[in-house]
Amino acid sequence: MGDMEPTTTIRSFIEDYIRKQGYTLQYFADISGVNAGTLSAIIKGTRPIAMAQLDLITKGMKLEEGHFYEIYGAECFVESAPHWRRLEPFLQRCAELDKLECIQRVIQQVTDDRSYISELFEMAEGMLERGQKKAARMLYECVAECEKYQHSERLALCQYRIFTLSLGQDQHENLRAAVHFEPYINRLDEERQLDAIKDLANTYSALRYWDKLFALADELGRKAEFIQSFTKKKVDKVNRITAYPLFVYRAYSNLLKANASEWSGKYTEALGYTQKYADIVNIADPSEEDQIYINMFIGWIEANTYLYSLMMGKKEVLPAYVAWIEQNEEELLTALVKIVEAANTYDMNIDHILLKFDSKINTILSDRALREGYNEQIKDDLHSKFLIEFAIYHFNQNRYSDGMQHLVTCLSSAIKINNHTDIIQCVALFERYRSFASKEVEITYRYLMEEVYNYYENKKSHGYIFV
């Protein structure tokens, strides 16, 4: 490098530190645990610093872990062609210490050199398993960028991982992620497609795109049946690519179709699909694993049969449904949404049921911290749906101040997950019952509307267009 060498290299830092502290080389070698000969070669520049040595030296200098990573990344990987055996430990340590900018800067350089693509992909898979999601996503995006003109399965797999890692609270972002990922599904391995379609269907379900959900559910069923028709022998859990046994996808496909029919108000059809998955899970000689899923579906069959009957106006199923919920509290939120919705549709008084689940409902009402991920996405949506129906129920029972209170909670929740449909419905309800709003509710409402207004102002100034 000659005279061009920057003065702030790591080795000049080390040299300055040793001099300023008045240490001998041997003394610093003892403190840091790095051999004196190695240390001398590093300072002279005749030997590159290995990751492990860098960590020891940093500790010896009493600096925080990863202090030199930015400079190290620039020196070793940006200014010179990187070697995988040095790059790998560096990326790994950055992921552990959450130094994401360092990863970003280095992998941008590596993208030009395509020779490490498969290593980066494997590394991303490892990070994902260890829960280092943000770092993993960066590597997947890097690999996808390098592979974007290839019709490779690896590209599709990266896009699948990026899709699942992108899902969060913002419904519009989730829709963008889904639309972006969908074209890659058919490039995945046949069996892996089943999980991908299931995940995509769950996302559209949380977004309330019922037609889209139905179409994906149909595709899921067809593909699962096709794969099952040519793998007659039972595949054990270890050698299986899919997350679940094949019959589960066929049953789940009908469960999703029932869901889509139900939300579209077609309850008779929903009952028909329920019967279909009841037949599918009626398996002779199930394995232990099979039995776990069979039991889950049996629970859903019972609950959904009550639920669809209730939505058709058959009030007499309510006591049996409530008894079922008491035994299966994890289904409480879904069930409550439906019971309150039925009460609003058929003008029923369900105060006795609400009283029974009072403490659970209070937990739901406390605008629980929204969480991330798939099922969380569906739960966030249900949470929002419940709050609206609950507010309407109170209005119908002439309990206006309660209704107003629940309405602003709902509005706040809908704004958090960027759910436009619910925001609009809340505003419309608020305007209808505005004369019943207390001063306090009025203030909360104004504050929330300000938040919505600012959000759109920001979008406008950034020139964003919603997908």
Which residues, at least 6 apart from 307, have a Cβ–Cβ distance to it below 8 Å?
A: 262, 321, 335, 338
Burial of 282 (0-12, 13-18, 19+ CB in 10 A): exposed
Asked if the structure places residue 416 within a domain, the reply is yes
Q: Which residue, of 250, 282, 312, is where some domain finishes?
A: 312
Outline where 187-209 has alpha helix (H). Answer: 190-206
- Is 380 in the same domain as 466? yes
Q: Which residue, of 264, 297, 312, is where some domain finishes?
A: 312
Q: How far is residue 417's CA from residue 385's CA, in Å, rounded to a whole number? A: 12
Q: Angle at which helices 171-181 and 190-206 pack, to 10 degrees?
A: 150
Asked if the structure places residue 304 within a domain, the reply is yes
Q: Number of folded domains in the chain?
A: 2
Asked if residue 216 lies in contact with residue 197, where contact means CB atoms within 8 angstroms, the answer is yes
* Residue in this structure with the two tokens 């939120």, named with its chain if needed: 333
Q: Which residue, of 285, 312, 339, is where some domain finishes?
A: 312
> To which H or E segment does residue 106 belong?
helix 100-110
Q: How far is residue 74's CA from residue 6's CA, in Å, rounded to a whole number? A: 11
Q: Would you state the torsion angle of the CA atoms of residues 143, 144, 148, 154, taken in this order, to the nearest 10 degrees?
A: 80
Asked if the structure places residue 230 within a domain, the reply is yes
Cα 20 off chain centre by: 50
Q: Provide the 3-class DSSP secondary structure of residue 402.
A: helix
- Is 266 in the same domain as 369? no
- Is 354 in the same domain as 458? yes
The pLDDT tens digits along the chain (467 residues) read 333 344 458 888 888 888 888 888 888 888 889 888 888 888 888 888 888 889 999 999 898 988 888 888 887 776 666 678 888 888 999 999 988 888 888 887 766 666 788 889 999 999 999 999 999 999 999 889 888 777 688 899 999 999 999 988 888 889 999 999 999 999 998 899 999 999 999 999 988 899 999 999 999 999 999 998 887 656 666 678 888 999 999 999 999 999 999 988 899 999 999 999 999 999 988 999 999 999 999 989 999 999 999 999 999 999 999 999 898 888 888 899 999 999 999 999 999 999 998 888 887 776 454 444 445 666 777 888 888 999 999 999 999 988 998 899 889 888 888 888 889 999 999 999 999 999 999 999 999 999 888 877 776 554 443 33
Asked if the structure places residue 430 within a domain, the reply is yes
Q: Name the token pair of 383.
A: 């949470």
- Is 442 in the same domain as 364? yes
Task: Look at residue 46 in the predicted model and tell me its pLDDT.
Answer: 81
Q: How far is residue 225's CA from residue 263's CA, in Å, rounded to a whole number? A: 26
Asked if the structure places residue 106 within a domain, the reply is no
Asked if the structure places residue 89 within a domain, the reply is no
Radius of gyration of the chain (CA): 29
- Is 368 in the same domain as 416? yes
- Is 280 in the same domain as 379? no
**CATH number, position 212:** 1.25.40.10
Tens of pLDDT, residues 25-79: 888 888 889 888 888 888 888 888 888 889 999 999 898 988 888 888 887 776 6
- Is 208 in the same domain as 301? yes
- Is 303 in the same domain as 372? no
Asked if the structure places residue 50 within a domain, the reply is no
- Is 355 in the same domain as 283? no
Q: Angle at which helices 36-44 and 25-32 pack, to 10 degrees?
A: 110
- Is 387 in the same domain as 297? no
Asked if residue 99 lies in contact with residue 64, where contact means CB atoms within 8 angstroms, the answer is no
Count of CB atoms situated within 10 Å of the CB of 59: 15
If you write DSSP's letter for every residue of 255-287 in order, what string do you get?
HHHHHHHHHTT-HHHHHHHHHHHHHHT--SS--
Asked if the structure places residue 42 within a domain, the reply is no
- Is 195 in the same domain as 304? yes
Q: pTM score > 0.85 for this model?
A: no
Show the domain range for 269: 189-312
Task: Look at residue 108 in the predicted model and tell me its pLDDT.
Answer: 75
- Is 369 in the same domain as 254? no
Task: Look at residue 27 in the predicted model and tell me its pLDDT.
Answer: 85
Task: Look at residue 232 in the predicted model and tell me its pLDDT.
Answer: 63
